[in-house]
Amino acid sequence: MLDLKAIRSEPEKFLRLLEAKGAAENLNRLLDLDYQRRQLVTKTDELKSLRNRVSDEIARLKRAGAAAEDKIKEMKSVSLQIKEQDEQIRSLEEQIHQILITLPNIPHASVKIGRSAADNEVVKIWGEVPTYDFPLKDHLDLAENLGIIDFKRAAKISGTGFPLYVGDGAVLERALVNFMLDFHRKKHGYREVFPPFLVNRDSAFSTGQLPKLEEDMYLTSEDDLFLIPTAEVPVTNIHRDEIIPENKLPIKYVAYSGCFRREAGSYGKETRGLSRVHQFNKVELVWFTIPETSYDVHEKLLQDAEEILQALNLHYRVVSLCSGDLSFAAAKCYDIEVWAPGTGKYFEVSSVSNFEDFQARRANIRYRRSGDNRVGYVHTLNGSGVATPRLMIALLETYQTDEGTIVVPEALQPYTGFSLIKTTV
């Protein structure tokens, strides 16, 4: 959530940056309500001060045996006015809060101003585009021919968008998760957690999914719990309503979770095979750090996520998102896009985001400085390290052979126990 005091002190800056995210329409209304509230608070405080002074005077008059009825009558009127104005203040505060929770984070100064993904910038390319001397298949044909992913039976079980991994496909999927968890835990020093896959409204609000993205989430209405769209949600909320000593920062977690997304706004987008599914697996990286170091951490987090693709020797690029393509909560974001040669396109497998103090304000996650004991908000960051469906697309298509088999990358072989996937149907 944005800082109202900061908006009040630099309204033109926030208007410009919110316009860059296409979300400035309610800012003037917010400032007007805030002005009304502050004016009313001043008037109400003056009346309360008057009531306190006159109440003392009434007490003195009573002790002296003097008449105080006129002043008592006057203070009843003042008290009624105070009550009415307090109610108006509460109403204004609620209106202000309702606008604040719908305002997105503002983009960092280094973010390019742009309208859509067409304005994003490629900032890094790793590896060479692989070449082949035989006709390529896409992941859907490969998976069906090998009998490792059964989309038809999955649709019978649950509906479209729910893959069913079978045999070596199931083993490969599990191998990817275990490989990534071990990689980040052992090489990068992340602390592993295994979070709940259902969260309450407070948790979903804290990370910015609510209220804006509720239609994209699966809700268990009887318990009012949401299936998580990413482990970012439960892991960030580990420290909700806490004050962390500065000497405990940074904190960095790695977590596996199933992820569930209705993708309510994704009609018309590419949905073939694994490219856009409602249930998938992901390894998530989450950091809590002090504000002064968060953009150094952002670069480190990006590097940690990239190293997964490097270890699997998959060609990829890193894209810096423009203002119009940033998520609701992000101040800056890199997308890592892996190349899928059979499909002939790049697929996003990780978004690496710095939220600055936006989530921390919503979740009330603070830290106490070592030097002066002052309390401030932490900065939170997260990145997929990485999501498996599109990684699986790239892996199957990159490592296919002219015989229709799949070579298992060397880094995964200790986890699969085999080096080649061949027809098992």
Nearest to 421 by CA among 179, 144, 170, 169: 169
Give me the catalytic one of 275, 350, 390, 397: 390
Give me the catalytic one of 276, 317, 366, 368: 276
Nearest to 60 by CA among 51, 68, 52: 68
Whether 261 is catalytic is: yes
Whether 390 is catalytic is: yes
Give me the catalytic one of 257, 275, 351, 353: 351
Whether 294 is catalytic is: no
Three-state helix/strand/coil letters over the chain:
CCCHHHHHHCHHHHHHHHHHCCCCCCHHHHHHHHHHHHHHHHHHHHHHHHHHHHHHHHHHHHHHCCCCHHHHHHHHHHHHHHHHHHHHHHHHHHHHHHHHCCCCCCCCCCCCCCCCHHHCEEEEEECCCCCCCCCCCCHHHHHHHHCCECHHHHHHHCCCCCCCECCHHHHHHHHHHHHHHHHHHHHCCCEEECCCCEECHHHHHHCCCCCCCHHHCCEECCCCEEECCCCHHHHHHHHCCCEEEHHHCCEEEEEEEEEECCCCCCCCCCCCCCCCCCEEEEEEEEEEECHHHHHHHHHHHHHHHHHHHHHCCCCEEEEECCHHHCCCCCCEEEEEEEEECCCCEEEEEEEEEECCCHHHHHHCCEEECCCCCCEEECEEEEEEEEEHHHHHHHHHHHCECCCCCEECCHHHHHHHCCCEECCCC
Whether 351 is catalytic is: yes
Whether 317 is catalytic is: no
Give me the catalytic one of 173, 257, 261, 323: 261
Q: Let me know: does 394 contact 349? Beta carbons within 8 Å.
A: yes
Give me the catalytic one of 74, 246, 307, 348: 348
Interior CA angle at 284 toward 296 and 242, to 5°?
A: 70
**Which residue numbers are catalytic?**
261, 276, 348, 351, 390
